[in-house]
Amino acid sequence: MSTLTRVVPAGFDVERIREDFPVLKQSIHGKPLVYLDSAATAQKPNAVIDAIRRFHEVDCANIHRGVHELSQRSTAAYEETRAKAKKFLNARTKNELIFVRGATEGINLVASSWGRGNVKPGDEIVISALEHHSNIVPWQMLCEDKGAKLRVIPMNDRGELLLEEYEKLLGPRTRMVAVTHVSNALGTINPVGRIVEMAHRAGALTLIDGAQAAPHMKIDVQALDADFYTFSGHKVFGPTGIGILYGKTRLLNAMPPYQGGGDMIKTVTFEKTTYADLPYKFEAGTPNIAGGIGLGAALDYVNSIGLDTIAAYEHELLVYGTEALGEIPGLRIVGTAKEKAAVLSFVIDGIHPHDIGTVLDRQGIAVRTGHHCAQPVMDRFRVPATTRASLAFYNTFAEIDALTAGLQKVKEIFS
Ligand code: C6P
């Protein structure tokens, strides 16, 4: 056992919490599962699994379409999640929350719908060097389509954005600044409040990709003054295929629908269609009803622990993990920002990350290896890939010890 300091916030009982996650109670290759891949997708508590099961067993019906009891119940449960998401993000009204498939779709919706009417040849979109492909490619597609230019905020060797360089990128042609709140590849927490304020001063709008922030910290879109904010349900302990896009009412009202179909209309004739009011204008077709209900249960679950408690505990895990990995000769942590959340990305001299991941898996330890859908980040650090251990509040100090021991084994095998 490591002699490093383990600090646990008062009242936080990780073993109690782990009881809520059935998937964690299994062995992989004969070893207890150590799940360190929550940035890819988080595990689901019983509350979420039960809510989805209950929907299918008891309430299953399409929403917004039926006068019958089941449809009323499923509509109410689905819409209840919108209210929960409003609270989760501190939005002004429920109508500012659009159900999407995940952060990827949230960003594509804005790039496509807002971009269609607001970006002209010569305009500029600013993103950062830390972005996931989901917050690069939709803007690149928009720029190609419109003859606009993509500008990129650079970062330093710790993985922190250079705000003085960002300032220089802002100008009269800047239409949108789209940055991640927390980097999935490095864990850097960006100063998004400051980034938003600087964008607004230049007359640009902002989109914050909250995919890696929502599971780890309290978010207040009003305090941030973000114009758009998006996150994925499956990373906040909810199901896959569901997520939230927040947008300011004024902006959403001015944007055309993203997709056409059922549920997003007021009237349809062959001559003309009129669209539904917010938020339904952006929600064409039968949605992921079970997913929406599961997401509501996930937000309740996260709130029952409390995001401040979660952030405090995960910070201690991260500090402990950083120290523990730092003691392994030849291991280099990639991404050492002062403000960091939940991610330990690293390389080991002479050993390919895929080999590291495979040996760890044989010991029951699940990590992600590769470019983490952030190839420009890898290019910036001149590595083809990293091994990434990503944390959630159900992880333990003992699991970090298991990772450290696993990495010693990797070194023995490959030295
Ligand atoms: N990152 C990871 O292992 P979706 O796929 O739509 O739920 O989320 C996309 C996305 C957007 N932004 C950031 C910062 C992200 O981390 C992700 C998803 C996962 O890092 C899967 S690639």
For residue 374, how far is its CA from the centre of ligand 1 (angstroms)? 9
With b for 16 or more beta-carbon neighbours within 10 A and e for fewer, the 119-135 pattern comes to beeebbbbbbbbbbebb
pLDDT of amino acid 1: 55
The enclosing H or E element of 369 equals: strand 368-370
- The tokens for 324 are 């523990």
The CA distance from 78 to 82, in Å, is 7
pLDDT of amino acid 2: 65
The CA distance from 159 to 296, in Å, is 34
Contacts of 71 (CB under 8 A, 6+ apart): 61, 62, 63, 65
Contacts of 270 (CB under 8 A, 6+ apart): none
The CA distance from 156 to 162, in Å, is 7
Q: Is 373 a catalytic residue?
A: yes
Domains of the chain as residue ranges with CATH: 14-32+306-414 (3.90.1150.10), 49-304 (3.40.640.10)
Which residue among 132, 136, 183, 295 is best mutated to probe the pocket of ligand 1, counting the most ligand atoms within 8 A of its Cβ? 132
pLDDT of amino acid 9: 86
For residue 369, how far is its CA from the centre of ligand 1 (angstroms)? 14
Residue nearest atom 8 of ligand 1, based on CA coordinates: 103
**Alpha helices by DSSP H, 38-136:** 46-54, 69-89, 103-109, 115-118
Residue nearest atom 17 of ligand 1, based on CA coordinates: 211
Within 6 A (CB) of ligand 1 lie 39-40, 102-104, 132, 134-135, 180, 184, 209, 211-212, 232, 234, 368, 372-373
Walk along the chain (415 residues) and give the pLDDT tens digit of each residue: 567 889 888 889 999 999 999 999 999 999 999 999 999 999 999 999 999 999 999 999 999 988 999 999 999 999 999 999 999 999 999 999 999 999 999 999 999 999 999 999 999 999 999 999 999 999 999 999 999 999 999 999 999 999 999 999 999 999 999 999 999 999 999 999 999 999 999 999 999 999 999 999 999 999 999 999 999 999 999 999 999 999 999 999 999 999 999 999 999 999 999 999 999 999 999 999 999 999 999 999 999 999 999 999 999 999 999 999 999 999 999 999 999 999 999 999 999 999 999 999 999 999 999 999 999 999 999 999 999 999 999 999 999 999 999 999 999 999 8
* Catalytic hit among 276, 373, 383, 398: 373
